Copies of this chain bind each other. A is one copy, B any other.
């Protein structure tokens, strides 16, 4: 019988980061992580499929992001709906209390190519979730895809800045600033007039 363990995913993630810092990512096993967290190995595998996954949460971003995009006012422009999603992440996920965890997590990921690969795949999946959320708002397919790609780029930039050890800004402000920068850049990439056939 599985016992209910309060906040097991975060306890496991905290334990994993502690151990990675102490003895290195390669030298830490799933059993080590579970023991440090005071949990059973089977509890680990109820939440994460492998050791890499413990640093990536259980789809923690897509849920709040998609819900907030869906709840944005119907008249909001595409990137404004994305901004509402970022506000939700600032409120529910990337809170000031979580920043120290994020700084340590990033140091581990930056040091391991297989973790970077997992992060890249999570990014692709999150972009797909955002694309569906934008399409559900009634946007044409291609507008939904472009919005999601630009939003995902802004999110990566903001997350990177937020997890810089010297940063003190809160995530919501960083995310809106990054979105503004990406939007401004998107207006400067256009090719010469008539060079591309228009649909």
A3 at the interface (CB under 8 A from B): no
Contacting pair A184 B197 (CB below 8 A) = no
- What is the distance, in angstroms, from A151's C-beta to the closest C-beta of chain B? 9
A32 at the interface (CB under 8 A from B): no
A185 at the interface (CB under 8 A from B): yes
Contacting pair A146 B182 (CB below 8 A) = yes
B-binding segment of A63-71, A76-84, A97-105: A76-84
Contacting pair B79 A142 (CB below 8 A) = no
Contacting pair A140 B185 (CB below 8 A) = yes
Contacting pair A180 B196 (CB below 8 A) = yes
Q: A121–B189 Cα gap in the complex (Å)?
A: 25
Copies of this chain present in the complex amount to: 2
Q: A189–B77 Cα gap in the complex (Å)?
A: 6
Contact partners of A181 in chain B: CB under 8 A: 142, 198-199
A183 at the interface (CB under 8 A from B): yes
A188 at the interface (CB under 8 A from B): yes
Q: A76–B167 Cα gap in the complex (Å)?
A: 37
With A117-B121, A124-B124, A199-B180 known as contacts, the answer to whether A145 contacts B150 (CB < 8 A) is: no
Pick from B123, B142, B177, B183: contact of A191, CB below 8 A. Answer: B183
Chain A residues at the B interface, C-beta cutoff of 8 Å? 76-80, 83, 117, 120-121, 123-124, 140, 142-143, 145-147, 149-150, 153, 157, 176-177, 179-192, 195-199
Q: Can you offer 20 A-B residue contacts whose CB atoms are under 8 A? A: A78-B188, A78-B191, A79-B191, A79-B196, A80-B195, A120-B120, A124-B124, A140-B185, A143-B185, A143-B189, A145-B185, A146-B182, A147-B189, A150-B186, A177-B199, A179-B196, A180-B197, A180-B198, A184-B198, A187-B187
